[in-house]
Amino acid sequence: MNEVEPKIWLISKLETLGNRRTTWLIALIVLSVVWLWITPLGASLWLDETGTYWVIQEGLSGIPSRAAAMPQFSLYFFIAGLAVALGGASEALLRLPSVIAMALAAFLLYRLGKRLLDQEAALLATLVFVGWKEVAFAAADARPYAVGLLLVIASMLLLIRWLETGRLAEGLGYILLASLTVYTHYLFAAMFLVHAIYAIQRLRARPPARLMAVCGAGILSAALLLPVLPRVLFLARSGAKYSFVGKPWLPQLLEFFSPPVLVSSVLIGLLLARFVRPAYCFSKPPTTRAPLLLLVSWAAAPPLLLWAVSILTPARVFVGRYTLCAVPGLALLAGWALRAIAPAHKRLLVASSLALGSLICFAPFRGGSFVHGNENWRQAMQTVRSIAGTTRTPVLLRTGLVEALLPDSPSQPLGLDYSVSAPLSMYPAGGRVISLPYWFDLKAQEYLDRLAAEILQPADRFLFVSRAETGAFPAWLKGRFAGQFTSKPLGNFGLISVILFERRPGAPGAP
């Protein structure tokens, strides 16, 4: 036998093992996408998603005026509006643009990882990305985060290419996509800090795109963002009003950088690998050096900035979905680290454990059905309609949006305030809907006193509907009507509480 033949046979075997690893990683990615992204598409919208439908329900022409009433204007509304105009209003169709955008984002992340690292590291990074809790939620969410992530990754890919080649088309493409990212979600502007750090690093290496070109790109991007500046300044001044979470501390920041599911899944995979000894343990290290400054700045700069703002100002913006722009950087870092695990069978076990952990912990299947989030407005409103119907039965609605203000009067008809009307636009309640404020304070109690005397006391029954933090309002109602009305919860709708109050037999009626 020619001595070359054993070498050819060995190379063939190693290539086969590499192809099998690639196929297995792709299968894990596809399984994660189908289970975490696709299955919840038909579930009930949650509160913020109903806000999207409220903006687009009158068609594309009505979007600008209605979007102006939202905390921020997003180009995503036109994408969702076009989808509904073409296919009709349904939960799945409303979410379809996000699924498509996130799938494209995952593909571009793979391309970026392959460019910066190698193919296997790119696949591992993509697996981490598609199974990340907030990414999986945003992929099936009728809101702008998936489109924003697509623009974040695409603009970063164009920036890297531009700083390597100096091509004008790639530079202009970067400027356009980076600016559109902010028009999708204002807080994604934190990515400009990452771009600046990377550009400074590249300029030291004297790339074709020189300093003047980079400065020009920054000036042009700033000019394109001028139209959103007034709205951003307004939100900055009103940060406390729109904040719905408490001040974040160090544990929350550490949890973002080391998600428990990811860390525990990797440790379990490494532990299992100790008991597995395959016949072939070939592992080829990455052939290129990882651009760690880019990956670390991408992973760390946006969340650190939002965390600092939340600590130092009244605006509480350190929220999972607001930090999504940093997740691609974290995923690439994780892919680079996982790629360093040797031998190869350990990587596959860790990758499998990671996928399984995400599939189990973030499964959108609860209570015998697929869900998206933990709010079933569709079923809750069906229950309300079955009781209130076309009657004048009072339906006290507290949507749970922090923007909900105290109505001037209990008899005031509902207007076009999205903080009250958003869930009703997709899921009508029936009956006579009466708005309740978000905060239970002294003014709210005075309002409830008038409401009880003018509307609830004369009624034979009324309904209370609220999302989360419901304790104070139903407790007040039960205390106010003790001995006159019974109270009965009408089912489990996740965070949505529906309580029926009915006059007790023999209790005095209206005065």
Tell whether 225 and 331 lie within a shared domain.
yes
The radius of gyration of the chain from alpha carbons, rounded to an integer in Å, stands at 27
Q: Are 206 and 163 in contact (CB under 8 A)?
A: no
Residue 169, in any domain of the structure = yes
Over 50: is that where the pLDDT of 279 sits?
A: no
Tell whether 438 and 327 lie within a shared domain.
no
Q: Are 128 and 354 in contact (CB under 8 A)?
A: yes
Residue 2, in any domain of the structure = no
Tell whether 122 and 195 lie within a shared domain.
yes
In angstroms, rounded to a whole number, what is the distance separating the alpha carbons of residues 274 and 145? Answer: 39
Q: Are 273 and 349 in contact (CB under 8 A)?
A: yes
In angstroms, rounded to a whole number, what is the distance separating the alpha carbons of residues 364 and 136? Answer: 10
Tell whether 209 and 179 lie within a shared domain.
yes
Average pLDDT over residues 283-295: 70
In angstroms, rounded to a whole number, what is the distance separating the alpha carbons of residues 395 and 372? Answer: 25
Residue 403, in any domain of the structure = yes
Over 80: is that where the pLDDT of 285 sits?
A: no
In angstroms, rounded to a whole number, what is the distance separating the alpha carbons of residues 225 and 232? Answer: 10
Percent with pLDDT over 90 in the chain: 64
Average pLDDT over residues 358-369: 88
pLDDT digits (tens, 9 = 90+) for 295-344: 999 999 999 999 999 999 888 889 999 999 999 999 999 999 999 988 88
**What is the domain extent for residue 396?**
377-503
Tell whether 298 and 385 lie within a shared domain.
no
In angstroms, rounded to a whole number, what is the distance separating the alpha carbons of residues 387 and 381? Answer: 10
Tell whether 440 and 394 lie within a shared domain.
yes
DSSP characters over 238-295 = TTTTT--S----HHHHHHHHS-HHHHHHHHHHHHHHTT---S----PPPSS---HHHH
Residue 248, in any domain of the structure = no
Tell whether 87 and 225 lie within a shared domain.
yes
Can you read off the two tokens belonging to residue 136? 């999986």
pLDDT digits (tens, 9 = 90+) for 226-248: 999 988 888 877 766 777 778 89
Tell whether 287 and 308 lie within a shared domain.
yes
In angstroms, rounded to a whole number, what is the distance separating the alpha carbons of residues 215 and 204? Answer: 14
pLDDT digits (tens, 9 = 90+) for 1-22: 455 555 444 344 444 555 788 9
Show which of 341, 368, 395 is a domain's final residue: 368
Partners of 503 in beta bridges: 485
Tell whether 335 and 413 lie within a shared domain.
no
What total of structural domains would you count in the chain? Answer: 2
Show which of 311, 335, 368 is a domain's final residue: 368
Tell whether 107 and 127 lie within a shared domain.
yes
Helix (H, G, I), strand (E, B) or coil at 319: coil
In angstroms, rounded to a whole number, what is the distance separating the alpha carbons of residues 464 and 500? Answer: 7
Residue 64, in any domain of the structure = yes
In angstroms, rounded to a whole number, what is the distance separating the alpha carbons of residues 433 and 427? Answer: 13
Over 80: is that where the pLDDT of 286 sits?
A: no
Query: Tell me, what DSSP letter sits at residue 70?
Result: S
Show which of 314, 341, 368 is a domain's final residue: 368
pLDDT digits (tens, 9 = 90+) for 407-423: 666 655 555 567 778 89
Q: Which of 154-163, 229-238, 392-401, 488-497 has the highest mean pLDDT?
A: 154-163
Q: Are 96 and 83 in contact (CB under 8 A)?
A: yes
In angstroms, rounded to a whole number, what is the distance separating the alpha carbons of residues 4 and 265? Answer: 42
Residue 232, in any domain of the structure = yes
Partners of 432 in beta bridges: 394
Over 60: is that where the pLDDT of 283 sits?
A: no
Residue 442, in any domain of the structure = yes
Can you read off the two tokens belonging to residue 509? 């009626």
Q: Residue 393: what are its φ and ψ, rounded to 5°?
A: -60, 125
In angstroms, rounded to a whole number, what is the distance separating the alpha carbons of residues 141 and 95? Answer: 6
Other beta carbons less than 10 A from residue 140's beta carbon: 27
Q: Residue 202: what are its φ and ψ, rounded to 5°?
A: -70, -35
In angstroms, rounded to a whole number, what is the distance separating the alpha carbons of residues 114 and 292? Answer: 15
Over 60: is that where the pLDDT of 177 sits?
A: yes
The pLDDT of residue 413: 53
Tell whether 301 and 449 lie within a shared domain.
no
Tell whether 153 and 197 lie within a shared domain.
yes
Query: Tell me, what DSSP letter sits at residue 494?
Result: B
The pLDDT of residue 441: 87
pLDDT digits (tens, 9 = 90+) for 431-463: 999 988 888 888 889 989 999 999 999 999 999
Instruction: Find tokens 């309904």 and name the residue.
Output: 463
Instruction: Find tokens 């990305």 and name the residue.
Output: 129
In angstroms, rounded to a whole number, what is the distance separating the alpha carbons of residues 285 and 305? Answer: 34
In angstroms, rounded to a whole number, what is the distance separating the alpha carbons of residues 54 and 47? Answer: 11
